[in-house]
């Protein structure tokens, strides 16, 4: 990108055009004035010659001489040439307005009278040349003054016209120095500068949003790594302590069986935690989910059947045959997670309700239970990573709801924890449902 001075370019173009115009005008005026002076001098010479030729007398030239002298025309009268004795003078025919002869700067016109007298009118063009030089000097001085004035006006005009660009530069510098709310905000976005300023503001807004997203992502990643390190530390420490106990003490059965069972449980928990961390990382980096037709009624019945096979509280299924478009395995995982949390929260004699129902823009899967419920303070952060529904529980990883909400939002929906007078209530919202015939 060429970054020469716009003001200098504009001034050079305008002053260059003005110089050309002034040169053409000066040349035309000077040539016209010079032609006028030459024509005027020749006309005066012709007029004097014509007057003498019409009168045919040298006395006429004598009477005109004083007035012509004031006009810069000299008059010279030569005597009649001698005539041979006994012979009459030959007749001479003169022609008024003879040709003007030019010799350098001198113009001469000669009239021969009938008696042979020669009347010579002469004029020097040096005065004309002096007048032309004076005119040229005056024109150059006026042109220089005009150029100087024009340069000042152009400089001021371009400075005023380019002031918005200076404001753009100042705003960009202020934003670079940390003033991220600074904007141009053009009052007339329909002009050329207004369009540029509006585009600049949109660009800065986009960059600011991208910077905010990147900062939030970095902060989130830092928290994630810190939480992951904290969560991994416990099962790893447990594994290490149990392994050292097993190697150091070499206990007999049944104590050895208990130690090995604890070792297996810690390894299983560590495996689940690592698997959930990988799943969450994949969801954070993944694009839109695979799109296919998913029958929510089939998903709800399958998940409920799996939960009932393990015994536990009563599960009431209330569903309609609704179809949404998305990833069947992801939606099944969300519903399964909600149902497993509900089963873990209620007593064996409790009740759980699984509903599939339509709403204005899609379908909803709702899981409610009559367990201890969720405190409002916990409800605000229930979907944060490593937040467990049961305090003191060592079974969950605290990532299930975070993964479930991420899956829901990848589908253009959401997962919410609703207020409930008894127990807990979670709703999975999925857009673009299609009713099906039974």
Kindly state whether residues 142 and 195 are assigned to the same domain: no
Cα 408 to its chain centre, rounded Å, is 35
Please state the rounded mean pLDDT for residues 160-183: 81
Give me the helices (H) in 286-348, please.
Answer: 296-309, 328-345
**pLDDT at position 246, please?**
76
Kindly state whether residues 199 and 220 are assigned to the same domain: yes
Q: What is the pLDDT of residues 359-403, one digit of tens each?
A: 888 899 999 999 888 888 788 788 887 676 554 444 556 778 888
Please state the rounded mean pLDDT for residues 272-294: 71
**pLDDT at position 49, please?**
82
Asked whether the predicted pLDDT for residue 209 surpasses 70, the reply is: yes
Kindly state whether residues 146 and 249 are assigned to the same domain: no
Residue at 174 is within a domain: no
Residue at 165 is within a domain: no
**pLDDT at position 148, please?**
92
Residue at 402 is within a domain: yes
Look at residues 285, 301, 318 and tell me which one is the last residue of a structural domain. Answer: 285
How many angstroms separate the CA atoms of 41 and 107, rounded? 9
Do 181 and 205 form a contact (C-beta atoms < 8 A)?
no
Kindly state whether residues 155 and 13 are assigned to the same domain: yes
The boundaries of the domain holding residue 26 are 6-80+93-159
Number of domains, the chain: 3
How many angstroms separate the CA atoms of 407 and 415, rounded? 9
Kindly state whether residues 74 and 120 are assigned to the same domain: yes
Asked whether the predicted pLDDT for residue 287 surpasses 70, the reply is: no
Residue at 1 is within a domain: no
Asked whether the predicted pLDDT for residue 316 surpasses 90, the reply is: yes
**pLDDT at position 27, please?**
93
Question: According to the per-residue pLDDT averaged within each range, which of 68-82, 98-112, 275-289 is highest?
Answer: 98-112
Name which of 4-18, 60-74, 122-136, 210-224 the model is least confident about.
210-224
Q: What is the pLDDT of residues 104-157, one digit of tens each?
A: 888 888 888 887 788 888 888 888 888 899 999 999 999 999 999 998 998 888
Asked whether the predicted pLDDT for residue 295 surpasses 60, the reply is: yes
How large a percentage of the chain has pLDDT more than 70? Answer: 86
Closest CA to 425 of 373, 389, 387: 373
Q: What is the mean pLDDT of the chain?
A: 81
CATH of residue 373: 3.30.565.10
Residue at 175 is within a domain: no
Look at residues 129, 159, 189 and tell me which one is the last residue of a structural domain. Answer: 159
Q: What is the pLDDT of residues 78-113, one digit of tens each?
A: 754 444 444 444 444 334 446 788 888 888 888 888
Kindly state whether residues 233 and 306 are assigned to the same domain: no
Residue at 166 is within a domain: no
Kindly state whether residues 250 and 273 are assigned to the same domain: yes
Kindly state whether residues 195 and 259 are assigned to the same domain: yes
CATH of residue 218: 1.10.287.130
Look at residues 159, 190, 211 and tell me which one is the last residue of a structural domain. Answer: 159
Asked whether the predicted pLDDT for residue 1 surpasses 60, the reply is: no
Kindly state whether residues 10 and 155 are assigned to the same domain: yes
Kindly state whether residues 231 and 365 are assigned to the same domain: no
Kindly state whether residues 193 and 219 are assigned to the same domain: yes
Asked whether the predicted pLDDT for residue 356 surpasses 90, the reply is: yes
Please state the rounded mean pLDDT for residues 188-206: 85
**pLDDT at position 395, please?**
54
**pLDDT at position 84, please?**
46
Higher pLDDT, 22 or 89: 22
In the structure, what pLDDT confidence band is assigned to residue 254 with cuts at 50, 70 and 90?
A: confident
Name which of 118-132, 271-285, 297-311 the model is least confident about.
271-285
Kindly state whether residues 155 and 10 are assigned to the same domain: yes
Q: What dihedral do alpha carbons 395, 397, 402, 405 form, nearest 10°?
A: -40
Q: What is the pLDDT of residues 320-330, one digit of tens each?
A: 888 888 888 88
How many angstroms separate the CA atoms of 280 and 87, rounded? 143
Asked whether the predicted pLDDT for residue 162 surpasses 50, the reply is: yes
Note the pTM of the prediction, 2 decimals: 0.49
Residue at 307 is within a domain: yes
Residue at 336 is within a domain: yes
- Partners of 352 in the β-ladder: 315, 369
How many angstroms separate the CA atoms of 279 and 69, rounded? 116
């Amino acid at each position: 990108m060429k970054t020469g001075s716009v003001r200098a370019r504009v001034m050079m173009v305008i002053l260059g055009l003005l110089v050309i115009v002034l040169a053409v005008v000066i040349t035309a005026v000077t040539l016209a004035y010079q032609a006028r002076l030459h024509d005027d001098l020749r006309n005066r010479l012709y007029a004097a010659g014509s007057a003498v030729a019409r009168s045919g007398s040298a006395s006429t030239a004598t009477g005109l001489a004083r007035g012509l002298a004031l006009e810069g025309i000299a008059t010279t009268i030569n005597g009649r040439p001698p005539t041979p004795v006994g012979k009459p003078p030959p007749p001479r025919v003169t022609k008024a307005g003879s040709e003007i002869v030019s010799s350098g700067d001198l113009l001469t016109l000669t009239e021969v009278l009938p008696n042979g007298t020669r009347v010579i009118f002469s004029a020097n063009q040096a005065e004309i040349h002096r007048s032309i030089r004076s005119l040229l000097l005056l024109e150059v001085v006026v042109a220089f003054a005009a150029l100087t004035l024009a340069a000042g006006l152009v400089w001021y005009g371009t400075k005023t016209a380019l002031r918005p660009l200076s404001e753009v530069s100042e705003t960009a510098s202020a934003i670079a120095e940390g003033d991220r709310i600074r904007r141009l905000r053009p009052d007339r976005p329909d002009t050329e500068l207004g369009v540029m300023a509006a585009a600049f503001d949109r660009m800065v807004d986009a960059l600011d949003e991208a910077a905010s997203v990147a900062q939030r992502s970095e902060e989130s990643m830092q928290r994630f790594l810190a939480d992951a390190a904290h969560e991994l530390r416990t099962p790893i420490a447990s594994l290490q302590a149990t392994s050292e106990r097993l190697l150091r003490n070499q206990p007999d059965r049944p104590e050895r069986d208990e130690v090995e069972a604890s070792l297996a449980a810690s390894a299983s928990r560590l495996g689940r935690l690592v698997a959930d961390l990988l799943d969450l990382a994949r969801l954070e980096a993944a694009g839109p989910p695979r799109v296919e037709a998913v029958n929510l009624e089939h998903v709800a019945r399958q998940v409920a059947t799996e939960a009932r096979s393990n015994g536990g509280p009563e599960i009431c299924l209330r569903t309609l045959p609704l179809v949404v478009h998305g990833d069947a395995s992801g939606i099944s995982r969300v519903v399964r997670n909600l149902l497993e949390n509900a089963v873990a929260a209620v007593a064996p004699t409790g009740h759980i309700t699984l509903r599939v129902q339509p709403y204005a823009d899609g379908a909803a899967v709702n899981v409610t239970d009559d367990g201890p419920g969720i405190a409002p303070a916990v409800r605000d952060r229930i979907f944060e990573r490593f937040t467990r529904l049961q305090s003191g529980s060592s079974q969950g990883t605290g990532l299930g709801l975070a993964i479930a909400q991420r899956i829901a939002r990848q589908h253009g929906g959401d997962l919410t924890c609703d207020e409930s007078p008894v127990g807990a209530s979670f709703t999975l919202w999925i857009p673009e449902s299609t009713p099906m015939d039974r």
